[in-house]
Amino acid sequence: MYTKSARFYDAIYSFKNYEMETAILHTLIQQRKKSDGATLLDVACGTGRHLSYLRKHYAIEGLDLNPEFLAIARQRCPNVIFHQGDMTDFDLGRVFDAITCLFSAIGYVGAVKQLEQAVATMARHLKPGGVIIVEPWLKPEQYMPGHLAARFVDEPDLKIARLSISQLRDRVSVMDMHHLIATPEGIEYFVERHELTLFDHDEYLAAFRAAGLEVSYDPDGLTGRGLYVGVRPM
């Protein structure tokens, strides 16, 4: 995903208030974390926007599957360790005080088995007393097939229109995102397909508990999609 649009990602999502979201995350981590350290891993870190603020409070690392995202993140956060890997089966050989997985990236894992594998993999990288925060994708009852979505960017040297129609296949939300992009070099058009599984509330809770985590749920979260917060017992 985002293989063609990675270089435009930050412009498309410029509406997100990463500084505010990070302040909420930091408060939540400090409230729930029982370990003594201040190390943090951001799983599916994207272009490193959250990490650029989280580094004020933590010794940070990032992990993402997309090498184009990682190249941008390394430029944004020099001297920070970034790993390329799949959230369902990575092994970094160390543990952290906090792990985040944000902006609904967990929806890309696939079926329930892969959700459980992803949470278990993150839990294996967590210190006793450490905290995992996962921002889910939409629940089945929240998703609206046929919904029309649009994002527009209007900068002096960059114009973007991204349009999509929400589709549903079994329990998977399918969005073919059509991009029309103009830069001083010319105009290009491409389509990216995004498929995210519509896990329900009980499936998230079960995945956390199966990984040995004490789990709670914040229905508001950072963007209205909620947050699942897991703590590894001491």
Cα separation, 59 vs 111, in Å, equals: 32
Task: Using alpha carbons, list the distances in angstroms from residue 97 to 11, 18, 42.
Answer: 31, 21, 11
Residues 9-41: tens digit of each pLDDT: 999 999 999 999 999 999 999 999 999 999 999
Report the alpha-carbon distance of residue 141 to residue 147 in Å, rounded.
14
Q: HSE-up of 179 (CA within 13 Å, CB side)?
A: 24
Residue that is written with structure tokens 């990070």 in the block: 22
- Predicted confidence at residue 41, as pLDDT, reads 99
Residue pair 135/122 in contact by the 8 Å Cβ criterion: no
What span, in angstroms and rounded, lies between the C-alpha atoms of 184 and 191?
Answer: 21
Q: Which CATH number fits domain 148-197: 2.20.130.10, 3.40.50.150, 2.30.42.10, 3.40.225.10?
A: 2.20.130.10
Task: Locate the domains of the chain by residue range.
Answer: 6-139+199-231, 148-197
**Homologous superfamily (CATH) for 6-139+199-231:** Vaccinia Virus protein VP39 (3.40.50.150)
Reported as a pLDDT band with limits 50, 70 and 90, residue 1 is: confident
pLDDT one-digit tens code per residue, 44-89:
999 999 999 999 999 999 999 999 999 999 999 999 999 999 999 9
The residue written with tokens 């079926």 in the block is: 111
Which DSSP category does 68 fall into? Answer: H
pTM of the complete model beyond 0.85:
yes
Describe the chain by its helix, strand, coil percentages, rounded to 5: 30, 35, 35
Instruction: Report the alpha-carbon distance of residue 43 to residue 233 in Å, rounded.
Output: 21
Please say whether the beta carbons of 25 and 54 come within 8 A: yes
pLDDT digits (tens, 9 = 90+) for 98-141: 999 999 999 999 999 999 999 999 999 999 999 999 999 999 99
Farthest-apart Cα atoms in the chain, separation: 57
State the alpha helices, DSSP H only, in 91-200: 112-124
> CA-to-CA distance for 166 and 170, rounded, in angstroms?
13
Distance CA 5, CA 110 (A): 21
The distance of Cα 214 from the centroid of its chain, to the nearest Å, equals 21
Query: How far is 150 from 182, CA to CA, in rounded Å?
Result: 16
Q: Where does the pLDDT of residue 3 fall: very low under 50, low under 70, confident under 90, or very high at 90 and above? A: very high
H or E segment to which residue 39 belongs:
strand 39-43
